Amino acid sequence: MTAKVYFTRDISPEKVWELYSRLGADLSGRLAIKVHSGEKGNPNFIRPAFWQPIIDRLGGTVVECNTAYPGERNETYKHKKLIEYHGWNALFNVDLMDAEGPDAELPVPDGKVTKKDIVGKNLLNYDSMLVLSHFKGHPCGGYGGALKQLSIGCASSAGKGLIHFGGVDKGTYESWDEDVQQIAFLEAMADAAAAVTRKFAGKMAYINVMKNISVDCDCVANAELPCMKDIGMLASLDPVAIDRACVDLIYAAKDDPGQAHFLERLTSLSGEHTIDAAAALGVGSKEYELIEV
């Protein structure tokens, strides 16, 4: 099935609402709004004020989870301080979904490398989810977009470790480089994304913002500055289609002097395999219609 992906070159809070309105999304019930809170020192993450108009209109709860790597977001007390420092809870109700254990497990019976996804237990409190993503590179996954938000983003600290270790449950997070096959890591991301989308059973929507396009993720404190020009924003009901469309827009930006640098990060880590693996699990479609608005 061909998915619809709406695209605008106007990167503004007002246009976010217009894109969302095109989707006809069913986000009824208790709404979780997944964002990236930004690592301390990261210069590129999307600030809370940018998202404020759509979050205020929908009235949901901003959700995040702790990280697994050392930093300012790997423990609840530090992450809450950083959320306050970045101004999220000054504007919104914020739920750090794995602030307290035990974690919850979502099944992935047809998962390629793992049969479970370990998420913050509070994820189970919600009926629908809006995923607000900053599209950029990623030092492990090649790129970060909607699928990363669904997988690593919704995973608890333990769940992130499970994904990074390619579905092998070592109990604690040790090292990204130790005994991990890259393809297994990417397929674990796809497995986890499948678990979250099935939990919400179609009551999801996605917005990707292609600005501040660095090769590094918002989880990197000393991230490289953006290497590409801002491209625009996209919205869809399909996480595979929206990420595929973003990657295709990167490939289409042939006149951008930073394109080669970004593509080296993407291709050296086989980043597009996450999209392929998620499509194979039925998370979404790689076939899409790009509708410019």
- pLDDT, tens digit (0-9, with 9 covering 90-100), for 99-133: 999 999 999 999 999 999 999 999 999 999 999 99
Q: What is the mean pLDDT of residues 2-17?
A: 98
Length of the chain: 293
Work out whether strand 136-138 and strand 232-236 pair parallel, antiparallel, or are unpaired. Answer: unpaired
* Local confidence band at 22 (pLDDT 50, 70, 90 cut-offs): very high
Cβ–Cβ under 8 Å, residues 209 and 133: yes
Q: What is the mean pLDDT of residues 128-151?
A: 98
The tokens describing 101, both together, are 């254990």
Tokens 């990420």 label which residue?
243
Each residue of 203-221: pLDDT tens digit? 999 999 999 999 999 999 9
Phi, psi (degrees; rounded to nearest 5) at 75: -130, 145
Residues 6 or more apart whose CB falls under 8 angstroms from that of 184 comprise 113, 166, 167
Phi, psi (degrees; rounded to nearest 5) at 134: -95, 115
29 φ/ψ sector (left φ>0, alpha ψ -120 to 50, else beta): left
Distance CA 125, CA 127 (A): 7
- Burial classification of residue 4, based on how many CB atoms lie within 10 Å of its CB (0-12 exposed, 13-18 middle, 19 or more buried): middle
User: Which three-class secondary structure state does DSSP give residue 128?
Assistant: strand
pLDDT value at residue 178: 53
pLDDT value at residue 174: 54
* Local confidence band at 169 (pLDDT 50, 70, 90 cut-offs): confident
Distance CA 153, CA 151 (A): 5
Say how many Å lie between the first and final Cα of the chain, rounded.
22
pLDDT value at residue 16: 98
* Local confidence band at 1 (pLDDT 50, 70, 90 cut-offs): confident
Work out whether strand 288-292 and strand 3-8 pair parallel, antiparallel, or are unpaired. Answer: parallel
The tokens describing 64, both together, are 């995040």
User: Which three-class secondary structure state does DSSP give residue 138?
Assistant: strand
The tokens describing 88, both together, are 């999220």
State the sign of the Cα–Cα–Cα–Cα dihedral 170, 176, 179, 184. positive
Asked whether residue 179 carries a pLDDT value surpassing 60, the answer given is no
The tokens describing 25, both together, are 């999304």
H or E stretch including 16?
helix 13-23
Each residue of 31-69: pLDDT tens digit? 999 999 999 999 999 999 999 999 999 999 999 999 998
Can you give the pTM of this predicted structure? 0.96
Tokens 């699990």 label which residue?
281
Cβ–Cβ under 8 Å, residues 6 and 293: yes
Q: If you compute the radius of gyration of the chain from its CA atoms, what whole number of angstroms results?
A: 17
User: Which three-class secondary structure state does DSSP give residue 92?
Assistant: coil
Tokens 């092998």 label which residue?
168
